Structure 1
């Protein structure tokens, strides 16, 4: 298929662009295979470049011969294009709809993108999934999944307890949903405890048992110690799963493990919650009471609280009770990853650095099989009913922002890194978030044919842009508050396009200026102290009688 077949009208003059808090722009609208481009006649530097893959839906309106297209983007932006001529407007609209819903991954922009920056570091090789787990003597990495034959959603290398072999893992995989046998995702250096994640056990109605699975997770326990299984489903949902061949760990077969149910909502509920939240944030005609009521009715903050609470529970079991933890829901690719990754943010100061956080996303989301292609195919404005779409990764980023806001000096990065990851998860020129698993990315030849987002982020100038000027390394475990008054709406995402960014930008510039001034002042003080110390060590002059 050629892109030209989908572009009915490639160029229209006299198009007027309207964007909130920005001046109106008149210019020429052009459609390419991957971008909607508007160039200004008055100012050659005033351009709009919008990826078709970033378009969630459009609305067409007509008034006489003037047509208007409202473009609603996956990053929650809305722009208005006034197009002269009804036919041109209809052609542009149908072309955008076709180009923004391409099914073939190989036709997407990352395959055509050529970086204009120097690639100093190949992001595809920056983070190996087993790196943080190679040093402990109780842990080993195995290549049992080398060709993705055991589990199609796991990476080729997996970290497991030292005392298990490939055959044990294969049999345990047959007992877990999607072949997702328990693997180690975190090792707590303080006490040697570990956190694992998996799919649900396939016990079924007959209470099926797998001794290899029991041996696998028991290998993480110390003599006389117990472990905790944190199930992210309600007891009733877990019980219902038995009728479909799933289930949960029975106490008789796992006597050293205590099961705790901490309910986190499923995909369709989260997607509906995001739609309601964005609708409330975009409607500025409401009174304060009405707006707060709609915000509460979306239940978004409730989901944030549930995930943070469960992550704190997992961290508490590991750090304070000295117990190993296994986390799973049904598939182990959504709520499970939210909990395990957030628990590491709480426990591990390395995950609060720029490089460490990238490694966490790579290890616990991309390599762990979160289906980004399905979950992020549509955002909050889509007119189609959600099938597999869900804002699970956005919820995780929101939770990280809540912790960052409560501990502003403990993170090396600012919220700009979180916003950047949100945007690129839904639409990007990089191949990092394409596909649903490591196996799909290999099959699609993404490392060979596309550029990694990490190659862009890890350039010195971008690192400087994303760095937190208030950062002070904190080696302690941090415990975020989940009280209602402690959890706020993430304005940097949900209100970003509904208010002028000028005040926030000026405040950030002033903060950086104050910090730089204080550093200069401190350097002068230190220099004076050194000079005084040198004077004090010099011998006093001889006194003449």
Structure 2
């Protein structure tokens, strides 16, 4: 398919662009296959300078259009002088990173053409037509910057601590589980044939695999999907043996089900369910529900609507913020991650986390638990490895979950801001422990934006199998390669970072959980004071970020 066929108007003159916190500019608007481009020339006797603005179509979450002076519009046939009122229009683009851009277009027909073009180009289903496959930055080579051998590196670090686990290629060519990587870490005593049988007992064939090894207590964090118990109470001895082997001689472990107990039990009617206590006597089940799917997406939509509601009193605004329940979701996520970390650090027990699919809130809990426990995950390199291992390699379906952002309206499909919730929780940790994280808020905002729309291929597709199929590593550039560039990295580092070898236990008291203004209000509130503060901090610690 040629994307040019979707462009109804390729160029419009005298378009005025308005954005919050930025002076409006007037220039020529061009609609290309992947970008909206506004080219503005400097105008004498005004403050307008020469500039060029680029916006990816895939960054647009919502397109709204309105027409002005339509009542004054007269046809030339009815106007002898050929004069009369003209009709103009406005196209409002609400972006996935929450920026709002208004295009004031001097012609009604062009207004509709631009709106229809952007609407079509921002909602492409064909991944191979995505901009990352066409993006070729100067000085960058394809293939560089990608995280290679992620699981092998993880295993080599593990082997230095224990020899009770092995690296299995049972999932070679993704033949056992399509959403797992080709290599996984499993107990040494479990054979590949046993793993295949255990996989058949878990939804999506996502059988229990190692997520994290805690060297101090020799306890492990596992993740999986729900067991396929069903109404007939099916069971799998291979699954039972796998979990018992993961205990490594410990007397018992905990299964944290991120659903309500009643919800987990009702899942049996559709073939799912939870572990039978009689079949897993060495495991105790804890039910702790986290909101997911459409409910979580609606919460984000309500939050964004509240943030951008300018004609609202303080009390009403705070009431709407509370009603969005976003901060409550942060509290619950941090609480549950803290529970998992506490079982490992203080109780010295193994933990298995799962919900239904094991690729959404499950990953939220396991990744946050590792941030709490492991100082390595709090470094720049370690944090990237955490996202690579616990989100990308673990099969979080970014293409589905991040298809729409906070401006999305109507009936949701499979959108859910689990990853954005994770980043928000990370920001809460950076605020509560300002010296324990090597990365700063800028990195979190960057990841949030690129997860929803990007010129890089890092967050493309839903799992490793799809990325291999589309040859993402061979045909697109990696976001990590750019972020690790010295010039870029210096803006993402925390100037007061000091390695903290201890676990960091987040507070979930109401006064401790705050709105992430740096992301949700960044296009509404000036950040000049933050930039000055950042520069001054570097000066005080005796370093030069530049």
- TM-score band, normalised by the shorter chain? over 0.9
Counterpart in 2 of 1:448?
474
Q: Does 1:427 align with 2:453?
A: yes
Moved more, 427-436 or 454-463: 454-463
Counterpart in 2 of 1:17?
17
Counterpart in 1 of 2:180?
154
SS of match in other structure, 2:539: helix
Q: Does 1:63 align with 2:68?
A: yes
> Is 1:121–1:455's contact at 8 Å kept on the other side of the alignment?
no
Counterpart in 1 of 2:41?
41
Instruction: Output the CA distance in 2 between the equivalents of 1:102 and 1:194.
Output: 41
Counterpart in 2 of 1:413?
439
> Is 2:38–2:54's contact at 8 Å kept on the other side of the alignment?
yes
TM-aligned CA distance change 1:456 to 1:119, over 3 Å: farther
Counterpart in 2 of 1:543?
none
Counterpart in 2 of 1:101?
123
User: Paired residue for 2:401, among 372, 375, 391?
Assistant: 375
Q: Does 1:474 align with 2:474?
A: no
Instruction: Output the CA distance in 2 between the equivalents of 1:252 and 1:159.
Output: 27
Deviations 1:15-45 (A, max 9, x none): 1111111111111111110000111111665
Instruction: Output the CA distance in 2 between the equivalents of 1:49 and 1:2.
Output: 21
Counterpart in 2 of 1:499?
525
> Is 1:228–1:325's contact at 8 Å kept on the other side of the alignment?
yes
Please state how far the C-alpha of 1:126 moved relative to its aligned partner: 4.0
> Is 2:27–2:41's contact at 8 Å kept on the other side of the alignment?
yes
Deviations 1:109-133 (A, max 9, x none): 0000002244598232445134223
SS of match in other structure, 1:489: coil
Counterpart in 2 of 1:280?
306
Counterpart in 2 of 1:333?
359
SS of match in other structure, 1:219: helix
Q: Does 1:203 align with 2:208?
A: no
Counterpart in 1 of 2:75?
none
> 1:526-537 to 2 correspondence within 5 Å?
none
> Is 1:119–1:456's contact at 8 Å kept on the other side of the alignment?
no
Paired residues in the alignment total 519
User: Paired residue for 1:218, among 244, 250, 255?
Assistant: 244
User: Paired residue for 1:343, among 369, 377, 382?
Assistant: 369
Counterpart in 1 of 2:72?
none
Please state how far the C-alpha of 1:382 moved relative to its aligned partner: 2.1
Counterpart in 1 of 2:138?
116
Instruction: Output the CA distance in 2 between the equivalents of 1:353 and 1:311.
Output: 19
SS of match in other structure, 1:470: coil
> Is 1:120–1:459's contact at 8 Å kept on the other side of the alignment?
no
> Is 2:21–2:526's contact at 8 Å kept on the other side of the alignment?
yes
> 1:46-445 to 2 correspondence within 5 Å?
46-64=51-69, 65-118=87-140, 122-126=144-148, 128-134=150-156, 135=159, 136-445=162-471
Following TM superposition, the consecutive aligned residue runs of length 4 or more in structure 1 with deviations greater than 3 angstroms are 117-121
SS of match in other structure, 2:240: helix
> Is 2:223–2:358's contact at 8 Å kept on the other side of the alignment?
yes
Deviations 1:312-337 (A, max 9, x none): 00000011111010000000000000
Instruction: Output the CA distance in 2 between the equivalents of 1:376 and 1:517.
Output: 38
Deviations 1:253-304 (A, max 9, x none): 1000000001001211100000000000000211111000000000001100
Please state how far the C-alpha of 1:48 moved relative to its aligned partner: 1.4
Please state how far the C-alpha of 1:499 moved relative to its aligned partner: 1.1
Counterpart in 1 of 2:81?
none
> Is 1:127–1:362's contact at 8 Å kept on the other side of the alignment?
no
Moved more, 41-50 or 157-166: 41-50
SS of match in other structure, 1:79: strand
Q: Which runs of 5+ in 2 are unaligned?
A: 43-47, 70-86
SS of match in other structure, 1:275: helix
Q: Which runs of 5+ in 1 are unaligned?
A: 520-545
Counterpart in 2 of 1:516?
542
User: Paired residue for 1:483, among 509, 523, 541?
Assistant: 509
TM-aligned CA distance change 1:185 to 1:424, over 3 Å: same
Instruction: Output the CA distance in 2 between the equivalents of 1:126 and 1:224.
Output: 34
